[in-house]
């Protein structure tokens, strides 16, 4: 069980917006953020991947893994600690991680997709994706953009995965139905979680 340590207060700053202050306050007091830091992970999102891995045996030593939308890198850290070889990409810079080749660029760019394939050096055993397009605040636009990203990830996964390989996509709420339909059409088996 993960518990929060003593609740911390954040000093107000004139240069920081109230929403930023609230986000920082939540981060400071989030027990999962604290546990991730204690274990040396960069983000609390590692616990979702760990939960899925423990349930389905997703990541094993010696696997070749693509991590799409990798920043800040906790999923790559987790897979590398399990002995996998990872090629990761994100628009944002990602600090180096032992056992991980990190590319900075737009996964949606076909040139970057070719670089990912080259760096991987063969078929992937697993494609991880935690890509979330920037929100515009307009629900329909955000959903369509998330669907497009999900579809592109599935297209790429179908192209690079070995036979019996796996893909794990974390999707923005609202995009899951179209992407699930597409996954059912392209992959032998499919399981929404």
Q: CA 74 → CA 88, 109, 171, distances in Å?
A: 11, 23, 17
Q: CA 150 → CA 1, 169, 182, distances in Å?
A: 33, 8, 9
* Matching residue, tokens 């240069």: 15
Alpha carbons within 13 angstroms on the beta-carbon side of residue 107 total: 30
Which range among 43-52, 95-104, 144-153 shows the weakest confidence by mean pLDDT? 144-153
Per the residue annotation, which of 7, 38, 170, 173 is the catalytic one?
170
Residue ranges matching CATH 3.40.50.150 in the chain: 47-186
- CATH number of 47-186, picked from 3.40.50.150, 3.30.470.10, 3.30.56.10, 3.40.47.10: 3.40.50.150
Top mean pLDDT of 9-13, 38-42, 116-120, 131-135 is at 116-120
Pairwise CA distance, residues 99 & 79, whole Å? 9
Q: CA 58 → CA 10, 54, 94, distances in Å?
A: 39, 8, 23
pLDDT tens digits, 17-72: 666 566 556 666 677 677 778 888 888 889 999 999 999 999 999 999 999 999 99
Instruction: Look over the chain and give the mean of its residue pLDDT values, rounded to a whole number.
Output: 84
Which range among 68-82, 112-126, 152-166, 179-193 shows the weakest confidence by mean pLDDT? 179-193
Would residue 117 show up in a list of annotated catalytic residues for this protein?
A: no
Per DSSP (E only), the strands in the chain are 64-68, 85-90, 100-104, 124-129, 161-169
User: Does the CA dihedral 162-72-54-52 come out positive or negative?
Assistant: negative
């Amino acid at each position: 069980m993960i518990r929060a340590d003593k609740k911390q207060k954040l000093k107000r700053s004139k240069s920081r917006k109230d929403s930023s202050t609230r986000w920082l306050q939540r981060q400071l007091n989030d027990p999962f953020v604290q546990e991730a830091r204690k274990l040396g992970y960069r983000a609390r999102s590692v616990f979702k991947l760990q939960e899925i891995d423990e349930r389905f045996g997703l990541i094993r030593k010696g696997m070749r893994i693509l991590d799409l939308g990798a920043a800040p890198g906790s999923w790559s850290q987790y897979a590398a600690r399990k002995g996998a070889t990872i090629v990761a990409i994100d628009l944002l810079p990602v600090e180096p991680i032992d056992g991980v080749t990190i590319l900075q660029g737009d996964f949606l760019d076909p040139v970057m997709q070719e670089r990912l394939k080259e760096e991987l050096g063969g078929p992937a055993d697993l494609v991880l994706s935690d890509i979330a397009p920037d929100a515009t605040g307009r629900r329909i636009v955000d959903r369509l953009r998330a669907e497009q990203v999900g579809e592109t990830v599935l297209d790429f996964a179908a192209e690079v995965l070995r036979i019996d390989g796996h893909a794990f996509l974390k999707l923005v709420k609202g995009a899951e139905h179209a992407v699930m339909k597409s996954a059912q059409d392209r992959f032998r088996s499919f399981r929404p979680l």
